[in-house]
Structure 1
Amino acid sequence: MPTIGTGIYSIHFPEKQKPSNPNAPTTTTASKHLPKSIQVLEIGGSMAPLWRQYFEDIKKLIYVVDASNLCQISAAGVLFYSILTEPRLQKVKILLVLTKMDYSYRQMRNEALLMLQMSKLQKQIRQQVQIVEASAVTKVGFPEIYDWLQRP
């Protein structure tokens, strides 16, 4: 079931903490080159016809696919392709998140990527797409998503 509606969130990253011992390493991975916070605009799949009006000034895009629902993966692939071909998004960094991997069986990732035609797409598109498996239940993939968000 696609996300319904929209949401705007701010994510604040921890600042680098100064160690009491100057020779000790810092306690976080943040650096002066990384953003201190980012704004996330969530626009659910049911609002796909409106997506185009939000494509200005986008630097990063996270596209989430429910990998536990094979019936919707092909439809998600069509929408994903329409995003990849959008002229205003040719320089955007893209993270493809395959969610609900805890509900999936071992080959689900490969089947999802096959249904999304990722090997074919990656040969044809300009954008670099990073793929992450994630689960809200087991927290698998969260560190990778968090790191991707912090990269410039």
Structure 2
Amino acid sequence: MILCVGQSASGKSLLLKRLQNIEFQATNYLDIPSTVPTVGTNIGFIKTKSKTITIEEVGGSMAEIWHQYYSDSQTIVFVVDSTNMSTIGDSCVLLCQMLSDTNVINTKHILVILNKCDKCCNQRKDEIMYLLMIDNLIQSLPNQQITVYETSCLTGKGLQLVYDWILRYN
């Protein structure tokens, strides 16, 4: 099972919907499936020719109990709204807490998704990674496998990379 976590409104639910239909192409925001904030959990499935992969999204409002889901997951996807500078610091704290958990450290493949890269903003990937302390985390946890991708659920940027990563580690 894959665990998908991140702050509220980071785009976890839409990401899950897009991964379930990876061939879908959106031309404008009206084409994008609607979502509502996840209260509790949301289960999705990615079906391939050979297997079905379960993704459990846990709502951002439940961050205090995410740790209860770590031991049941093979991999963890951590979603960050890369356009919301007011939540980057909180995302960094949550990411550090997750990576320090005994059920995560050195045992799970972690994918950090810098979401919403289609929106106008002045932040570049390296700036967001700096604010999230990604390089420091990778250096301090050399046995932890951490991958970082930028995505856009509107344009589809990075979604194939995320899909391939999921297939590789699950």
Q: Distance in 2 between matches of 1:104 and 1:45?
A: 24
**Structure 2 residues without counterparts, runs of 5 or longer:** 1-6, 10-37
Say which SS state the counterpart of residue 137 (structure 1) adopts. Answer: coil
1:12 is matched by which residue type in structure 2? K
Q: Distance in 2 between matches of 1:104 and 1:124?
A: 32
Structure 1 segments unaligned to the other structure (5+ residues): 16-35
Instruction: Return the structure number with greater relative CO, CA threshold 8 A, min gap 6.
Output: 2
- Pairwise CA RMSD: 1.5
- Structure number with greater Rg is 1
Q: Tell me, yes or no, if the aligned pair for 2:83 and 2:123 is still in contact at 8 Å.
A: no
1:47 aligns with 2:53: no
Q: Which amino acid aligns with 1:147?
A: D
Offset of residue 71 of structure 1: 0.9
* Alignment map for 1:3-152 (pairs within 5 Å): 3=9, 4-5=38-39, 6-15=41-50, 36-90=51-105, 91-105=107-121, 107-125=123-141, 126-152=143-169
The residue identity in structure 2 corresponding to 1:109 is K
Give the TM-score normalised by structure 1.
0.81
SS of the equivalent of 2:46 reads strand
Distance 2:96 2:135 in 1: 13
| Distance apart, 1:151 and its partner CA | 0.7
Give the C-alpha shift of residue 105 in structure 1: 3.6
When the two structures are superposed, what TM-score results if normalisation uses the length of structure 2?
0.73
SS at match of 2:157: coil
Tell me, in whole angstroms, the C-alpha distance in 2 between the residues paired with 1:11 and 1:76. 26
Shift of 1:14: 2.7
Shift of 1:45: 1.5
Deviations 1:22-61 (A, max 9, x none): xxxxxxxxxxxxxx11111001221101111111232100
The one-letter amino acid of 1:103's match is: K
- The one-letter code of the counterpart of 2:69 is Y
**Other structure's SS at 1:88 match:** coil
Please identify runs of 4+ aligned residues in structure 1 that moved more than 4 A.
none
Query: How many residue pairs align between the two structures?
Result: 132
8 Å Cα contact 2:113/2:149 also seen in 1: yes
Instruction: Find the counterpart in structure 1 of residue 14 from structure 2.
Output: none
* Per-residue deviation, residues 40-99 of structure 1 (Å, max 9, x unmatched): 100122110111111123210000000010110110010000010011112100100000
Output the CA distance in 2 between the equivalents of 1:72 and 1:49: 16
Paired residue type of 1:95: L
Take 1:114 and 1:56, find their aligned partners in 2: how far apart are those partners? 28
